[in-house]
A and B are shown apart, each in its own frame.
Chain A
Amino acid sequence: MLDILKELLFSSGVVSLTGGNLVMWLVSFVLLYLAIKKQYEPLLLLPIAFGILIVNLPLTYLMEPEHGLVWFFYHYGIEMDIIPPLIFLGLGAMIDFGPLIANPKTMLLGAGAQAGLYVTFFAAVLFGFDLQEAGAIAIIGGADGPTTIYLTSKLAPHLLGATAVSAYAYMALVPIIQPPMMKLLTTEKERKIVMTKLRPVSKLQKVCFPIITAMTIMLVVPPAAPLISMLMLGNLFKESGVVERLSKSASNELMNIVTIFLGLSVGATMTAGTFLSPKVLFIFFLGLFAFIVSTGAGLIMAKIMNLFLKDKINPLIGAAGVSAVPMAARCVHKVGSEANRRNYLLMYAMGPNVAGVIGTVVAAAILLQNLG
């Protein structure tokens, strides 16, 4: 009887536990707390946290190549680039490009915010990361989870967990990170600027936009094809109005299903061996730096545009050029309404906000073209 109990104990995971496993449990519990109690990006952080927990239970072999259950999710979903484009399909079916079509010059704000991403690339190289790792870290500044995961899985798969968690954590912290930068880089007078009314947008214009955008970007930057094609297909589902079932499926059921596999797979890459290194701390620091610089670059771009525009734009909307949709736009609206209670900036900020999604994909594709 005692022998059986002893054998059971020695064949269990308990004796194989390491200090690293325990630290990773702690990381998992912190993320579970943030997801459940604080509701910081719970749709992603919850499965990520659970993924971390289960992969750090010894002898489960969930990430064992060719055998582990979660390895199959990771291999077929992320390594083979299936899940991030599917997330973009759902995102496209949710996004309204109307404010961007109504005010296309805000497209440049979506580009301006990406400048921060390249500054971070430079900074990451200075910190000692190799070029591929620096590219994966820089994309955090784009504030786009699926694009971060897509690019990291191509350039530096060993950093996937850290960059993904960093991107989603900072996206959840937009209301804390962005307002100080907005106030620092704009004057009270600028924040009070009331923008001219958006021009009307017809249904045909909304239908043509995803087709033109997909063709343009894929012709000029082919590596953007997997993400941009799915984003624009989802949007075409929505705007065409003839495939309501597909549009709803893409934005609800499909999106929810792939979110589960995405979160679990990303969390499962975070074993003690890959996550507990000083590099990860630098990644979190550089991710925050990327986010701050991208916000600043968007604001400065808006101020530069105002030097040439007859109808001035409120420079706050430049901060929405990072692609955290719609949190960054909401944040712009909040800071704008603090300066001028009658100023309603949400719809104006949605233009650069959705342009930021496109801009981040283009920036990621260019990084991939240069470093992949």
Chain B
Amino acid sequence: MTDWSKVFEVFSSGIIGVFLVMFLLQILTQLSTRVIDFVENGKNGGAPEAVPVPKSSADPAKD
């Protein structure tokens, strides 16, 4: 016999949980990059290295 209350609990807690964790990670990433930008730009007075946007079809990563 399927425990439907458990199914709904797993379903909802899963979706909400993943979003919350990823949102938290997004906020922390944004915060840390801003702090580092502030520290580095204050120290060097220059812009950090840019993420290259490749012109070729070279793979950025391999699996």
- Please report A residues at the B interface, Cβ cutoff 8 Å: 91, 94-96, 98-102, 104-105, 107-108, 110-111, 114-115, 117-118, 121-122, 125, 130-131, 135, 197-205, 208-209, 212-213, 216-217, 220-221, 324-327, 329-330, 344, 346-347, 350, 354-355, 358-359, 362-363, 366-367, 370-371
Contacts and interface: CB of A to CB of B under 8 A. Distances in A.
Nearest to A171: B63
A362 B18 contact: yes
Given A102-B51, A200-B51, A347-B54, A221 B29 contact: no
B26 A108 contact: yes
Contact of A326 (B17, B22, B23, B60): B60
B48 A370 contact: no
Interface string B24-54: 1110111011001100100000011111111
Contacts of B7: 121-122, 125, 131
Given A121-B10, A212-B28, A362-B17, A201 B49 contact: yes
A201 B9 CA distance: 39
B29 A202 contact: no
A357 to B, nearest CB: 10
Q: Which 3 A-B pairs have the closest CB atoms?
A: A202-B48, A111-B22, A107-B26
15 contacts: A95-B61, A104-B33, A107-B23, A111-B18, A118-B15, A121-B11, A131-B10, A205-B32, A208-B36, A212-B25, A217-B25, A326-B61, A347-B52, A362-B17, A366-B18
Contact of B51 (A94, A198, A363, A371): A198
B21 A221 contact: yes
A6 B27 CA distance: 74
**Contact-residue bracket for chain B:** 35 or more
Given A114-B14, A121-B14, A217-B25, 15 more contacts: A104-B30, A104-B33, A107-B26, A111-B22, A118-B11, A118-B14, A125-B7, A200-B49, A201-B33, A202-B36, A205-B37, A217-B21, A221-B21, A347-B60, A359-B18
A302 B7 CA distance: 27
Among the interface residues A96, A362, A371, which one has the most CB atoms of the partner chain B within 10 A?
A362
A107 B19 CA distance: 9
Among the interface residues A107, A110, A213, A366, which one has the most CB atoms of the partner chain B within 10 A?
A107
A355 B26 CA distance: 10
B22 A107 contact: yes
B48 A326 contact: no
Nearest to B62: A94
B17 A346 contact: no
A202 B40 contact: yes
Nearest to B21: A362
A101 B53 contact: no
